[in-house]
Amino acid sequence: MLPFAIEVYTAQEKECDMILSEICRRIHGLHISVAEDVWPDGAILICVICGKEKKIDIDECAHYLALGWPKCCSRTMIAKQGST
Ligand SMILES: [Zn+2]
C-alpha cells in the first residue's frame, strides 16, 4: 500500500473534462439566448402574495431559467417585462 494517493489524470479523463466543459458552456449560452429573447430589457419579478417586486437583468433571468425561479411567500414569483 502506498503512503499517499497517486492521482493519474489520463488522456481520456482530460478529454471527458473538456467535453463536459464545452457542454456546460453551450447550455449556459442557451439560457442566455432564451433570456435575451423573452426578456430583452430584463424582467421584474413579482410576488403574487405580498406584491414585492425585484428588477433582474438578463444574466439573472438566465440564472433562474437554469436553476429555478425564485420564490416569495412560499410561491414562485412571476416575471413581467422589465424596462430600461
Ligand atoms: Zn411575497
Share the mean pLDDT of the chain.
Answer: 90
The Å distance, Cα 50 to ligand 1 centre, comes to 4
Using the mean position of ligand 1's atoms as its centre, give its distance from the Cα of residue 72 in Å: 4
Average pLDDT over residues 55-72: 94
Tens-digit pLDDT profile for residues 2-50? 666 667 778 889 999 999 999 988 888 999 999 999 999 999 999 999 9
Q: Which amino acid is at 37?
A: D
Q: So where are the chain's domains?
A: 2-81
Euclidean distance between CA atoms 84 and 68, whole angstroms: 24
- Report if pTM > 0.75: no
DSSP string, the chain: --SS------HHHHHHHHHHHHHHHHHHHHHHHHHHHH-BTBEEEE-TTT--EEEE-HHHHHHHHHH---EETTEEPEEEE---
Cα 32-36-38 angle, rounded to 5 deg: 115
pLDDT for 8: 73
CA of 47 to the centre of ligand 1 (A): 5
Ligand 1 centre distance from Cα of residue 37 (Å) = 27
